[in-house]
Every structure is written in structure tokens, then in C-alpha cells.
Structure 1
């Protein structure tokens, strides 16, 4: 099993191997890939609570996921446990906000934990591949949920959730791609980032958050995401480091703007 290297070491190696990563680190620093801001106060360090929160978060916003998770905790009273989960009926799970598919998945998870066909404790010493295989055997847990669990709960250093749409969008921004790569294309693109893909993932998510935040504050973005500002034309040009794209027009009296959220180019 791979052990996480200290963040500085991992980011130094990423910067040495990839000029795009080097530029992003200069712009956005070295985010902690294992920090999940919503989890500590809600799930703490409990592995089952963390897994349930990730299941709640499938295909919905974190705000909605936290609401569903909070209602689920209200049913579990003493906190999540295999026995408490197994005691919940399909109707109770549906009432707290789970879809039928998710409710069936929760019940399957409870059964597997109860009969010991799945051990969350054993995942701590399993390889990444073994842990993903064990988790995806549960109904309703796909690669994305399993990989996020490896990242946030098990703190594995080389996780790339290539199916994550936001991560693929961020890769398009960072690498000046004409469109978001497919999952397989992102996996190939990320090959030089091994064995530190968790760190690269955290960096790309930071890029995406900054992009969305600043775009929301200043208007539409003309970057690799393909959105066009009304009545404006993009003029692609490369930056000195190859990070950013200057696909935005220059505003009246202003400087060029890069594709990471309407930030003045230096």
C-alpha cells in the first residue's frame, strides 16, 4: 500500500515533472488533498459516517447531501452503525430523502457490513485497487464514491477520480484543452503525476473553485469551458509559462484576463 508523502515533497515532484503543475502551484499554492471541509464537523473520523456522507453526496450538491445526512442521523440516534442501518426500512430511508436506488444501496451496505463480507477497517491496509473493488461491490457505490472515500477517509496519495466532471473541466482549463477530456483521456493525461495524483487532483479542484467563484463575481467566462460573454469575441494567446490561456478579451482600460476566473495576467 502506498503511503502519503509530505505535501511539500509531493508538490515539488509534481512541479519538476510537469510545467502546467508548476504554474498552478505558483498561482494556487499547495492545497491539502485529504481535507474535506464538510466532513470533520459532520462525520468526524468515523469511516462509516464518512462513507454514508459520500453516498449522500452522489449527484447532488453538498448542501443537499448534508441535509439528507442530517435527517439520516436523526433516525440513527446513537450514530451510524451496521446494526442501526440494517434496522431501517426502505420507507424510512425514502422519507429522509434518499432515492429508491440510494436507499437500496444503503440497505445492501448494511447487509454486507453486518455479515462481514465488507470490513471498512480492513480497507485501511488494503491496496488502492483492493479497496475500490471491495467498495464497488456494494450496490450503488461506483468508482467515484470509492475513490473519494480513498482520498478523504483513507488519505491515499495517488487517487485520480477521473470520472468527476468538475475535475475534467478543471483539467481543460489548466491544460488549455478545447473541451473537457473524457475519463480515459484524463487518466492518460495524468500519467506523469503518479504517484501523487491526489495532490494534482486537489490542485485542479482549487483551480475550478477559484474559476467559478471569480466568474460568478465578474460575469461569464471565455475559457476552455466554452462559455461566451455576450457580444464579445475571444482571442486565444499563450502565456509565458503555458498556464492560463488569455482566451478572454481585454476589457476597456484593463489587462488581459486568464481562464482561471477573470484574474489579471501578470
Structure 2
């Protein structure tokens, strides 16, 4: 009799534990009124070779390395963002890290109302804001990631850049398998810093691009550069510290400042995609010069980075 009771109690405890484990792995994140998950998914699915997140059935799957362990989570939308963790690491500390990461990734703290007010000064940008209402800058919370990605993308077309990124991540990054799907995390600065130029050669990286990746990776791995360090500095000091590293120019610095450091006025004015989008949206006979873009951007002051992101988004059609 007592044996049966103990067995029954064990079974009940087992299922209660499972219930609370599932419950604990579910996170709800409130979203502002000016937020569009539809536009977010549209941006996140812009290239099939993207390897650091995966979109399936309107869910965004992402792998993070937290305390040297890979954590997989999925994001969906239902009156706010619903985040489900598909790993064992569901303690309160990790949940807090994931919530902050998603909030930064989707830029939930940005005052989009102010950006939309600024956009009223420019009829073309105003129309884009109406068309893509609720689109927030999809950032890269990890500064190292944005620097590596922007170096990869220097002076090549976007499809080839995604191909190189895929090779870098799949050959040197960490991976996690869940339900027969493989999810990847970006290689750590330490991992990339341990490589040589020759290690990149089989994957179509030019010698200069490989060297630039090594320069940035070693700066992070050796403690000469960190996101926390730069976040405390004013705009121009950040830019100067970044461009002091060989391989980081004005475009790369501004790209990473807007995508990772939340500097909404950072302006990658040399960007070819921006030039093409502005030419199309303003119905210009030719692509604008850098000088012309600087002049045009005076109407976007304080939000040049956000304006750039909306012009990039217009290239998706």
C-alpha cells in the first residue's frame, strides 16, 4: 500500500517538475505600440544564407553562448514577444540575459515616436515610415559580431558576404542540434584570434579580409577593445578608437555604432545600398554623392542611422 503511494507521489512530482520547467522556460516580453513583428520577420528573412538565426513558421530561432554554454531559444508574437527556451539553462540569470538580448536585438527601447516626428521633415522618409510602420532597427547586440560582419561585407556584394559568413561560422563557430536542425553561434574572438591567414584561404577570404578579421579578433581577445569600454565614450572617441584598428574604416565604424552601440545618428554614408535606395526613393537620375547625402541627411539629424535602416529596408521591395 505504502509502496503504491510512494510510486504515485513520485509520478506526480515528476509531472509537476516537468510542468514548472516548461513554464519557467517561457518568457513574455512586452512590445511598444510602434512595433511590427511582420516587418521584423521580413528583415530577418532577407537572405537564405543567414546562419546565425533561423526563421520557421513565424518563429525566430537563435543560439547564444552564455557562460560557455550554448542556449537555444525561439521568439514568436502573441500580444507581445513570446520567448521559449529549448535548452537546459533556464535559470533566472540566463532568462534575464536572453530578455535583454532580444530587447536590444529588436531595439524595443527606442523612442520611435520621435524618429517619426523627425521624418515629417522629409516627404520621402515620411512615406517609408508609414509603409514600414513599427519597424525597429534590427541590431547586433554583440559589437564583435557587427564588426566581423561589416568587415566580411566590405567591397563585395551582399550574397557573397552571406556566403563567406556562413563558411566562417560553420567551420569555426559552435553548433547545437535540436530536433535534427543545426543552429550555430558566432566564433569567439579567442577562437578567431588563434587562427592564421592561411586558415581562411580555403573559404574564399582574401588575405586582407582575413587579416582584418584577425586584427579585430585579437583586439577583443587581448582586451584592447570591448563593448563595455566603448559604450562609455562619446561618439567621436568611439569612432577614432575603431578606425585606429587596421581594417575598420568610417563605414565599418558607423555601421557598428548604429547596430551595436545604439548611436542612432551614426551615418554609414559610404554605403552602396544606401546610395541605391536613395536614388530609387527620390527618383534621382543618378546615385547621390557623399556630399549630397550629407546635405540630404540634415533633415534626419539625430536619427541618420535609423533613416539609413529604413532606406535599406526599402531595397527588399
| TM-score of the superposed pair, with normalisation by structure 1 | 0.65
2:243 maps to: 136
Residues 61 and 168 (structure 1), Cα distance of their counterparts in 2 relative to 1, 3 Å cut: closer
| Partner Cα separation in structure 2 for residue 74 and residue 168 of structure 1 | 32
Larger Rg: 2
Counterpart secondary structure, 1:116? coil
How far 1:83 moved relative to its partner? 2.6
1:98-143 Cα deviation digits (max 9, x unpaired): 1111111122223323443322331222222222222222222211
Superposition pairs of residues 151-162 of structure 1, within 5 angstroms:
151-162=258-269
How far 1:5 moved relative to its partner? 4.4
1:76 correspondence with 2:172: yes
The structure with the greater share of residues assigned to strand is 2
Counterpart secondary structure, 2:315? helix
Counterpart secondary structure, 2:156? coil
| Aligned-pair Cα RMSD in Å | 2.4
| Partner Cα separation in structure 1 for residue 188 and residue 240 of structure 2 | 22
Picking from 37, 40, 54, the partner of 2:150 is: 54
How far 1:6 moved relative to its partner? 1.0
Picking from 21, 27, 30, the partner of 2:125 is: 21
1:14-41 Cα deviation digits (max 9, x unpaired): 21x2333333333443532x215xx6xx
Conserved? CA contact 2:173–2:188, under 8 Å: no
Residues 66 and 172 (structure 1), Cα distance of their counterparts in 2 relative to 1, 3 Å cut: closer
Residues 22 and 65 (structure 1), Cα distance of their counterparts in 2 relative to 1, 3 Å cut: closer
Structure 2 unaligned regions, length at least 5: 1-108, 175-185
Conserved? CA contact 2:148–2:216, under 8 Å: no
Conserved? CA contact 2:119–2:129, under 8 Å: no
How far 1:74 moved relative to its partner? 4.2
1:35 correspondence with 2:138: yes
1:110 correspondence with 2:110: no
Superposition pairs of residues 187-266 of structure 1, within 5 angstroms:
187-210=294-317
Superposition pairs of residues 90-129 of structure 1, within 5 angstroms:
90-129=197-236
Counterpart secondary structure, 1:29? coil
Picking from 102, 113, 117, the partner of 1:8 is: 113
| Partner Cα separation in structure 2 for residue 116 and residue 155 of structure 1 | 22
1:170 maps to: 277
Picking from 141, 147, 152, the partner of 2:254 is: 147
Select the structure with the greater relative contact order (CA < 8 A; seq sep ≥ 6).
1
How far 1:174 moved relative to its partner? 2.9
| TM-score of the superposed pair, with normalisation by structure 2 | 0.56
1:262 maps to: none
How far 1:75 moved relative to its partner? 4.5
| Partner Cα separation in structure 2 for residue 74 and residue 19 of structure 1 | 43
| Partner Cα separation in structure 2 for residue 31 and residue 164 of structure 1 | 20
Counterpart secondary structure, 2:316? helix
**Matched residue count:** 198
